[in-house]
Amino acid sequence: MLDTVKRQSIYQPLQQGLKFPEIPSFQTKAEERLHLQKRLVAACRAFAVHGLDYGFAGHLTIRDPERPELYWTNPMAVHFAQVKLSNLILADHKGRVVQGEYALNRAGFVLHAAVHEAHPDIVAMCHAHTVYGVAYASLGKPLPPITQDACAFFEDHIVVTDEGGKVAVEEDAGHNFAAAFKGVKAAIHQNHGLITASRHSIEAAAFWFIALERCCQQQLMIDATGVPPKLVPPDKARYSREHVGSEYIGWLHFQPIYEQLAQTQPDMFD
């Protein structure tokens, strides 16, 4: 999964001999699995830190490196701040828990399993019912390129207007959503909220979710002024997206988040 992420050339010069995050390599699938599980737990803890919790809603998934038809996810009705290695669950695309003691969030199964099954290249997904993302999703419109941060999503997200008003436990809703989720890293699901995906790492999926929520907050603040913002021109927005919106940059952004959590919340590895 991670070995296909390419380092951006702008971060290469003059870095030899200096401390800088390195994309890991693994000797065994078991070693890679543990690495992915730790990052999944850290992503859940990061969502808690950023206030992205809402009851038992919200689910993060990562494919198993050895059995890609299965995915690891957070347990149902366990707060993001209480997710740890020992309570992760492993499920299949039919919603059956094949490893772990906790139940599976049915809503998480319907959308995530449908996308994972329809798009084998997607290895990780994140969804939560957040204040600003859900509010912005009600508008049913894409996020405009108002800042360099927002440019990371320029022409790299979709708005899905169907099925968002349903309680997301119907399989048809999942399949319809999955059909729309092609070649992008994020979706704004009307009347439902935000979903992000990565074809390389849970770290990228998690960071881009945090970033998209922040961009929605900024957009709503700008809308509240009643003054139309000056948009980044399309050519410059595409340039920014290529440099600040890649899978690698998402992975890189998450590294300080992971290190801070690993030091301050060591219980997440229990």
Confidence of residue 228 (pLDDT cuts 50, 70, 90): very high
pLDDT in tens, 52-100: 999 999 999 999 999 999 999 999 999 999 999 999 999 998 889 999 9
pLDDT at 10: 53
Confidence at residue 119, expressed as pLDDT on a 0 to 100 scale: 93
Residue in 128, 88, 94, 89 with CA at minimum distance from that of residue 109: 94
pLDDT tens per residue across span 250-260: 999 999 999 99
Q: How confident is the model at residue 249 (pLDDT cuts 50, 70, 90)?
A: very high
For 179-238, give the secondary structure using H, E and C.
HHCCCCCEEEECCCEEEEEECCCHHHHHHHHHHHHHHHHHHHHHHHHCCCCCCCCHHHHH
Residue (of 184, 204, 186, 182) closest to 195 by Cα position:
186
CA 255-269-209 angle, 5° bins? 40
pLDDT at 8 over 90: no
CB neighbours (10 Å) of residue 7? 17
Please compute the mean of the pLDDT values over residues 141-164 and round it to a whole number.
93
Helix (H/G/I), strand (E/B), else coil: 92:
strand
Phi-psi region of 67 (alpha: psi -120 to 50; beta: other; left: phi over 0): beta
Phi/psi-derived region of residue 165, left when phi > 0, alpha when psi is between -120 and 50, beta in every other case: alpha
Q: CA-CA distance, 23 to 7, in Å (whole number)? A: 9
Please say whether the beta carbons of 52 and 59 come within 8 A. Answer: no
Say which range, 37-46, 163-172, 222-231, 261-270, has the weakest mean pLDDT.
163-172
The one-letter amino acid code at 10 reads: I
Tell me what pLDDT residue 174 has: 80
Give the pLDDT confidence of 113-124 residue by residue, as tens digits. 889 889 999 999
For residues 213 and 205, the answer to whether their CB atoms sit within 8 Å is no
Residue range 162-183: mean pLDDT, rounded: 72
Q: How confident is the model at residue 4 (pLDDT cuts 50, 70, 90)?
A: very low
Residue 18 pLDDT > 60, yes or no? Answer: yes
pLDDT, tens only, 29-38: 999 999 999 9
The percent of residues in the chain predicted with pLDDT above 70, rounded, is 90
Could you say which DSSP state residue 54 is in? B
- Judged against a pLDDT cut of 80, whether residue 12 lies above it is answered with no
pLDDT score of 3: 46
* Cα dihedral 160, 164, 168, 173 in deg (nearest 10): -50
Domains in the chain: ranges and CATH: 29-269 (3.40.225.10)
